[in-house]
Amino acid sequence: MAKPSFSCSACGASFTKWSGRCEGCGDWNTISQDAGLSAGPAKKSLGAKRGRAVTLTDLASEEAPPPRAMSGIGELDRVLGGGLVPASAILVGGDPGIGKSTLLLQAVAAFARKGLKTLYVSGEEASAQVRMRARRLGLADAPVQLAAETNLRDILTTLEAEKPGLVIIDSIQTMWADNVDSAPGSVSQVRASAHELTTFAKRTGISVIMVGHVTKDGQIAGPRVVEHMVDTVLYFEGERGHQFRILRSVKNRFGAADEIGVFEMTGAGLAEVTNPSALFLSERGAPSPGSVVFAGIEGTRPVLVELQALVAPSPHSQPRRTVVGWDGGRLAMILAVLEARCGIPFAGLDVYLNVAGGLKISEPAADLAVAAALLSAREDRALPGDTVIFGEISLSGALRPASQTENRLKEAQKLGFTSAIAPAGGKTGTLEGLTMTRPTDLVGFVGEFFGAG
């Protein structure tokens, strides 16, 4: 008899015995016993029976790739890699209330108006509630078919009969497969439902977009194997205090990963932002200490964003290090390099760093901009407002050039910036009207702009 296995419903971690607290995510009372994938007999080996031969093709075949379906929403098509690929399975995650259902309802209406047969299946709302939301968004006239159902067998039967080009499943955690002996939302149910829908998409050529709930850590709830099943994983993120929303691709078999699409939340739904750099800098006032503009790259798109730093004497024995929108560990590294290589201590000082607009930055090219913001705040000296900064800092204090330097500088020049600070060595091209400063190490940068080091 097979030994029982247990899984955490929050993070999907597996255990051999039950415990009250999950060692993977730290949640309490989330571990339950896994049921078999079917109520039938125990699994047996395939045996000696021979299967059928699988059709083989070579890479040099002349088959044309399937045409992509365009929604007309430029930011969405960009994140998908240039449009919707037939027979693709897409997983969309995001915090509750961030706008996932609104985005997908607008997307499915846009695809339907372009001539693609679409179906919206809601497991969380009644059809009347979805229609009410569509009327508020001005989408009531879109030829979208609606269904409110959670039984996966009934949904697949309907899809076989209707044969739409695109189906939205909102959400995968509410789906219930009757061949799995566990409650909806459990690890077994989510895994089985995602597998059935992905297999159905590949077999029939129907594109499937599944909405996934996220945990308190921001990861899609359920087993991580679900993210490996699908072709594309998108995260819809943003701060509730800002009107900006970022649709970020973290996995895409048909396009660039780490691509972003920027939307603005309005009373009539989500509006796409074609020039996010101008929007992120729109609320930036006169130059002030601690404020610098970083020229970053998100996917294939250059994005300019303001970094804000505040350095103040700490009343506590342990100074605070607070970061919003950047990696806290990397901030600690920058502070250590400034102290060890440049002789600028931050002991006894509280340090706060914020990425304006709710954007999250992960690339190391922001190191030099962060260091400049920290020094500007510490010395109470503002950098010129028409200057952009980017570059990576090594532990030795040397500056390394960032990738796509020319694209960053072109975006800065397009928005009216006249000077840039970037490490030596990057390819800049010929940019007229843009003054370049090319320090080779952090000590030289500090000495030139702050007179100390």
Question: Is 94 known to sit in a ligand binding site?
Answer: yes
Summarised one tens digit per residue, pLDDT across range 396-426 is 999 999 988 999 999 999 888 999 999 987 7
Question: Is 43 known to sit in a ligand binding site?
Answer: no
Check residue 206 and give its pLDDT: 95
Look at residue 215 and tell me whether its pLDDT is greater than 50. Answer: yes
106 — alpha (psi -120 to 50), left (phi > 0) or beta? Answer: alpha
Question: Is 101 known to sit in a ligand binding site?
Answer: yes
Question: Is 98 known to sit in a ligand binding site?
Answer: yes
Question: Is 188 known to sit in a ligand binding site?
Answer: no
What class does CATH assign to 279-450?
Answer: alpha beta
Look at residues 403, 405, 436, 400 and name the one whose alpha carbon lies nearest to residue 418. Answer: 436
Structure tokens that stand for 127 in this block: 């059809």
The residue ranking higher by pLDDT, 163 or 41, is 163
Check residue 199 and give its pLDDT: 95
Question: Is 267 known to sit in a ligand binding site?
Answer: no
* Cα separations in angstroms, 256 against 50, 233, 304: 41, 12, 20
Give me the CATH topology for the region 68-274: Rossmann fold (3.40.50)
Question: Is 100 known to sit in a ligand binding site?
Answer: yes
Domain residue spans of the chain? 1-34, 68-274, 279-450
Summarised one tens digit per residue, pLDDT across range 312-324 is 999 988 999 999 9
Check residue 66 and give its pLDDT: 79
Question: Is 36 known to sit in a ligand binding site?
Answer: no
Check residue 236 and give its pLDDT: 92
CA distance linking residue 314 with residue 320, whole number of Å: 8
The average confidence (pLDDT) of the chain is 88
CA distance linking residue 129 with residue 146, whole number of Å: 11
Q: CB burial class (10 A; 0-12, 13-18, 19+) of residue 228?
A: exposed
